[in-house]
Amino acid sequence: MRVLYDSQKFDEQTVGGATRYWHELIQSLTNLPGYEPVVALRHTANVYAGSMVGRPYFWQRRQANRRFSVQLLKRGDFDVFHPTDYDPYFLASIGGKPYVVTVLDMIHERLPQFFSPRDLTRAWKSQVVRRAAAVVAISQYTKRDLVELIGVDPEKVRVVPLASSFATVAAKVVPDAPARFVLYVGQRGKYKNFTWLVRAIAPLLRDDQALSLVCAGGGPWHAGERRLMATSGIADQVRQYDVSDGQLAFLYRRAMALVYPSLYEGFGLPLMEAFACGCPVVASQAGALPEVGEGAALYFAPTDAVGLQQALSSVVNDEAVRNSRRVAGQRRAAQFSWPQVARQTAAVYERVA
C-alpha cells in the first residue's frame, strides 16, 4: 500500500513532539510488508525529517513543499493520503482518494483564549475531520473531545496511543548540568503553564539551594521569565538548554523527576519519554496526562501549588518513592512501541483504502 504524507508539520517545526510522531510513524511503516510511505518533502529544517530529504533547507521551503504535495496528489499514485496537519489545501487536488487525519489534541477548542481570533486551526480541523474517511486520535481523551466538540461519529475514530524510543537513545553528556535537578521539557508558553510552575516551585528551590530546575528546549529565556525568576529568588537555580536527543536522554536519566504542569495535553509525549528513561514523573491531572501515566506518575491539580510541592518533595527527598516511580514508569513505557503505532495506523489505512 502506498501512503502519501505531506510536509505541513515538518515545515512548522524544527523539533517537537508532533514531528517526532510523524517521523517515527513513517519510519516504522517502512518495515511493514507491503507498505510504501511517500513523503512530499523536498526541503526541511526539521531535525527528524532530515534523513528523509536529499535536498537542503532553504527559506521558501513551505511553498516548494506545497507545490510538490499538490503535484503528487494530482498524479494520484497513492492509495491513502495522510496530511500531517489540518490545512485543507489538499481537498481541491485529492480527487476521489481517501484520506486519514490524525488529531493530536483539541487545545484550540478547549482553550481558545490562548490563541489569536485569526488562528484558522479550529475551522480547518473541523473541515478536514468531517470529510476524512477515518480519524486517528492519540488518546481516549482526545477521542471524547472530538466526539463532543466536533460531533464526529465515534465509529470513525481509532485511538492509537504514542510511544517512545528513548530507552535505546545513547546519552550525550550535558557538561554543566547540575548534580540535582527537576526537569521540564518543551515549549513554555500559553497552556504549558510554565509561569505558574516557576512561582509554585520557587519555595522548594529556596529551601533546597542544591536543587535546580532544568528546562530542555523551548528556546532562550525571554525578559519576562528572567524577571520572574529574579523576583522569585531562584535565578541561579534555573537553567535552559537546547538539546539533541542524546542530551535529552542524558537529562531524563539524571533528573530526579520530570515535572509537567500543562493545562491540557492530547497525550503528553514527554511523560512516555521520561518513563522509558527511568525518570519519575510528576504531572498535572489535566487532559490525557492521567490516561497516559496511569499509576506510574504522581499527579497534582494544575493550579494547586501545594499539591505540586508535596508531590515533588516526595520524589526528590525519598529515594524509595523515587525508585518505585522509576520502575513503574519503565513498565508503563514497555506497553507501547512505535512499531505498534505503525501496525494500528496501518489497520486504519486498510479499512479505508
What pLDDT, in 10s, does the model give residues 78-111? 999 999 999 999 999 999 999 999 999 999 999 9
Give domain limits for the chain: 2-163+337-352, 166-333
CA-wise closest residue to 165 among 31, 273, 16: 273
DSSP string, 223-280: HHHHHHHHHTT-GGGEEEE---HHHHHHHHHH-SEEEE--S--SS-HHHHHHHHTT--
Q: Does residue 153 have a pLDDT over 70? A: yes
CATH topology of domain 166-333: Rossmann fold (3.40.50)
Higher pLDDT, 55 or 89: 89
Q: pLDDT category, 56, cuts 50, 70, 90?
A: low
- So what's the pLDDT on residue 220? 96
Distance CA 199, CA 209 (A): 16
Q: Does residue 59 have a pLDDT over 60? A: no
Q: Indicate the length of the chain as a whole number.
A: 353
Residue range 200-252, pLDDT digits in tens: 999 999 999 999 999 999 999 999 999 999 999 999 999 999 999 999 999 99
| CATH code for the domain defined by 2-163+337-352 | 3.40.50.2000
Q: What mean pLDDT do residues 26-41 have?
A: 94
Distance CA 14, CA 159 (A): 26
Distance CA 173, CA 8 (A): 33
Give the rounded distance of the alpha carbon of 137 from its chain centre.
Answer: 13
Distance CA 51, CA 67 (A): 21
Q: Are 274 and 326 in contact (CB under 8 A)?
A: no
- So what's the pLDDT on residue 109? 97
Q: Are 172 and 244 in contact (CB under 8 A)?
A: yes
Residue range 268-320, pLDDT digits in tens: 999 999 999 999 999 999 999 999 999 999 999 999 999 999 999 999 999 99
